[in-house]
Structure 1
Amino acid sequence: MKTLIKDTMAVLPDGSVKEVSIAVDGQRIAAVGDVPENFSADTVIDGKNHLAIPGLVNAHTHASMTLLRSYADDMNLMDWLQNKIWPIEAKMRKDDIYWGAMLAAVEMVRTGTTTFADMYGDMEKVAEMTIESGLRGVLARGIIGVAPNGEQAFEENKTLFKDFHGAADGRITVMFGPHAPYTCPPDFLRRVAEAAKERKAEVHIHLAETKGEVENCLKEHGKTPFGLMEETGILDCGVLSAHSVWLNDDDIALMKKYHVRAAHNPGSNMKLASGIAPVPKLLKAGVCTALGTDGTSSNNNLDMLEEVRLAALLHKVDALDPLAVPAGEALKMGTEYGAEAVGVKDAGKLEKGALADIVLYNMHGPEWTPKFDLVSLLVYSAPSHSVDTVMVDGKLLMEKGELKTLDEEKILFEAEKCAKRITQ
């Protein structure tokens, strides 16, 4: 399948914006500008008055928590988890996980996300969603080691890896998902690290999300969460660290040493009052720092353009520095750095040879007028409903606002039905 996106404005890897045509051949970008005259496209997309960017990457979420959107808000993290979220999650069945994930897929495609890193239970159902929707998924079975089903969840993660790692023509990657240091004891984490190393798998884990988490870890283990992860061997596996808010200089040095990638979740961290991650400091230290939404019960959406905007704004006011995270850097956090963070090679850039994960924004509208700086307009002004066309692996998931792989009305109906059942 060959596709030509003709005469679109595009954000290029060096941050510049130029009018180009983009040729896609199969799963990959064949040319950005200078399209060969003999390139014969099966599909031609008119890119006039559109802006092309690499697909947005949600580096940390819990897709099926769409069913819990607005269920429990304005609470402290541990109160929220222990008294609201974990009890309701215990009622969720495999069908709930599937339809919650499908609801997430609709929202992600409509808002320009092409890759998501997910951690939850019954992840084979999320894998089904990933295959059916055409999205790119980095999946981990969430494991709470101290829970009665901790061992079962650990085995399920191994099975998930065996059954789905590399599936869907490589669109699915499987990681191990120990939830956090406060739910997985050190000996359990050592076993997870051994299992991951045996399979050459990486680890997706919540680390240093709250001040209380770090204080308790110091009290119980004499180390910060990152120090404890080094001791257990988790850092040797390659780590995607969700949140990474409460960090000292030694933690950041460990992240740099072991190439730990941070998934910054500004919306969720603000809503749960978890704190502000030291993003400018991480970026300056050369730590790959991506963006995520977290689950929709703590955000309350999967809108990655909103996270890009929050990342650009939050750190300006925190540092009292308007240059803290410029628009172009925030956009890279949501695209190029995101792809690196979740371990998807050759994605996150509009360049020859890259995976053809592309989003087109329709620039017709008041928020896009006048057009002085298109990256600035995208980051600070554009609404997500400007997303017009979404491509993953060279296949169209949405074209001119029409979903190609998902039955939106059926999904909305089934998700509403599931949400009502589990909350009764």
Structure 2
Amino acid sequence: MMRSILLKNVVLDGRCQDVLISGNRFHQISSKIEATAERVIDGRGKLALIPPFYNLHSHAAMTLLRGYADDMELFTWLQKYIWPAEALLTHDDVYWGTKLALLEMIRSGTVFVNDMYWHQTASLDAVEEMGLRAAIGYMFICVPGGGVLESNRQANAELKERVSSCSSRIHLTYAPHAIYTVNQKALLEIAEEAKQDQAVLHIHAAETAREVEECQAEHSMTPIAYLDSLGMLGPKTVLAHCAHLTNEDIALISERGAVIAHNPVSNMKLCSGLFRFQAAWDAGCRIGIGTDGCASNNNLSMLEEMKFAALSAKVQSGEPTAGNDRQIFSAATRTGCSLFDMDGGEIAVGKLADALLVRLDHPQMLGDYNLTANLVYSADNSVIDTLICDGKILMEEGKIDGEQEILARNREICRKIAAVRPG
């Protein structure tokens, strides 16, 4: 028998509705549904049903490095602190660190993460067990002056062996770290492999002024133009950060149909730069929102990220109308779905049953003139009551199975990391 959930008296598009979920799809939406279901949740007119969030760029297991190194620029942060710490992480560490990230994502209304990290099969296991959706990347970083790290090759081979047994909630990407850590020969090979597999390419791009300057000096073009020259820009490309784009870059990204993963909190915290959101939006660029990792954010709340995306768009452009609530909410809920061909991102019959129930009686949700504005500008994670992913309830009334074990395991791992932290 197909599992079913009946959501009664929930507010959808401003009206009190009943919504029936059958299997992993929305089956019926009506003012009154008389069907029986395995689970019934009565919103009593106090819970709004909305699409959940799709996090388009993150490094999930970096929850283990939250607060490990703060208040410094990107390259010092990476080279002195983050990369040495990551070299100590085991497969088991990444498994539990990813579970902690997924726990935080569930609490903050996220059902999908586009992840780029080490020990990918550990991340894969965590996602499968927690019931969320994810894109897991074949990771690529090159030895200085040489080829792709052998550890990357081994991990990628292990991930490839698991492809056939993955659930439909899992997507695989090709994830070269950046143009300054992966050489041209390797990038060309990666682009060809991704094309053959019809897979998404996921890369950091135009994140800092230094990256742009070094690319100009070496290749006489911007990072975006360089990636395009290698055949890496297209409708299945995710460009993370893009804090330094020329008008020509924006036009090229739009023309190629590539997706920009905007990470405003990380960009500001590392002082990397301000993404030109409104200019890119007006040029027709596809824009999604990501949190980056907890070492540079330092949380995974897409609600917080939406607010900073809106505010940074206004500050960067000098226009209070830039990054309006509807644009930002769409970037957080729909772009990732279209990129990964997930039939979701909206509450409609036949669509994937991914959804949030949000508390309308929460102080942050009053006044109730504009639900989208409240979600973008006012709400924090405490407004989220229930999360449904793929037709399964993963959190109800703020309760998540297995939470205490996840927290306890991560405390142990963090104590180990703290013992070797530079002074």
TM-score (norm 1): 0.93
Q: Structure 2 counterpart of 1:414, which letter? A: R
Corresponding residue for residue 348 of structure 1: 345
The range that moved more, 140-149 or 331-340, is 140-149
Contact 1:267 1:299 in 2 (8 A): yes
Q: Structure 2 counterpart of 1:28, which letter? A: R
Matched residues, number: 414
Distance 1:29 1:165 in 2: 27
Corresponding residue for residue 138 of structure 2: 141
Q: Does 1:63 align with 2:65?
A: no
Which of 111, 122, 127 is equivalent to 2:124?
127
1:156 shift after superposition: 2.9
Corresponding residue for residue 5 of structure 1: 7
Corresponding residue for residue 43 of structure 1: 39
Q: Structure 1 counterpart of 2:217, which letter? A: K
Corresponding residue for residue 223 of structure 1: 221
Q: Does 1:325 align with 2:335?
A: no
Corresponding residue for residue 167 of structure 1: 166
Q: Structure 1 counterpart of 2:359, which letter? A: N
Partner SS for 1:375: helix
Distance 2:232 2:164 in 1: 20
Distance 1:288 1:157 in 2: 28
Q: Structure 2 counterpart of 1:45, which letter? A: I
The range that moved more, 220-229 or 54-63, is 220-229
The range that moved more, 233-242 or 130-139, is 233-242
- C-alpha distance 386-351 of structure 1, shift in aligned 2 (>3 A): same
Q: Does 1:414 align with 2:414?
A: no
Contact 1:166 1:173 in 2 (8 A): no
Partner SS for 2:16: strand
What pairs with 1:176-195 in structure 2 (closer than 5 Å)? 176-195=174-193
Q: Structure 1 counterpart of 2:38, which letter? A: D
Q: Structure 2 counterpart of 1:41, which letter? A: A
Q: Structure 2 counterpart of 1:390, which letter? A: L
CA distances 1:285-341 after superposition (whole Å, capped 9, x unpaired): 111101010000000000110001111222122222221111122111111123224
CA distances 1:252-303 after superposition (whole Å, capped 9, x unpaired): 2221222110100000001001111011111111111010100000000001
CA distances 1:201-228 after superposition (whole Å, capped 9, x unpaired): 1211000011110111011111211111
1:46 shift after superposition: 1.1
Among the aligned pairs, what percent are the same residue? Answer: 38
1:344 shift after superposition: 3.9
- C-alpha distance 149-410 of structure 1, shift in aligned 2 (>3 A): farther
Corresponding residue for residue 268 of structure 1: 266
- C-alpha distance 172-226 of structure 1, shift in aligned 2 (>3 A): same
- C-alpha distance 192-35 of structure 1, shift in aligned 2 (>3 A): farther
- C-alpha distance 93-155 of structure 1, shift in aligned 2 (>3 A): closer
The range that moved more, 147-156 or 2-11, is 147-156
1:386 shift after superposition: 1.4
1:175 shift after superposition: 0.1
CA distances 1:372-405 after superposition (whole Å, capped 9, x unpaired): 222222221122111110000000101111114x
Partner SS for 1:193: helix
Give unmatched runs, 5+ long, in structure 2: none
The CA RMSD measured in Å over matched residues stands at 1.8
Corresponding residue for residue 364 of structure 2: 367
Partner SS for 2:233: helix
1:20 shift after superposition: 2.3
Partner SS for 1:107: helix
- C-alpha distance 420-87 of structure 1, shift in aligned 2 (>3 A): same
Corresponding residue for residue 379 of structure 1: 376
Distance 2:359 2:7 in 1: 13
TM-score (norm 2): 0.94
Partner SS for 2:293: coil
Contact 2:105 2:301 in 1 (8 A): yes
Contact 1:122 1:141 in 2 (8 A): no
Contact 1:127 1:164 in 2 (8 A): no
Corresponding residue for residue 397 of structure 1: 394
1:418 shift after superposition: 0.8
- C-alpha distance 288-165 of structure 1, shift in aligned 2 (>3 A): farther
The range that moved more, 172-181 or 351-360, is 351-360
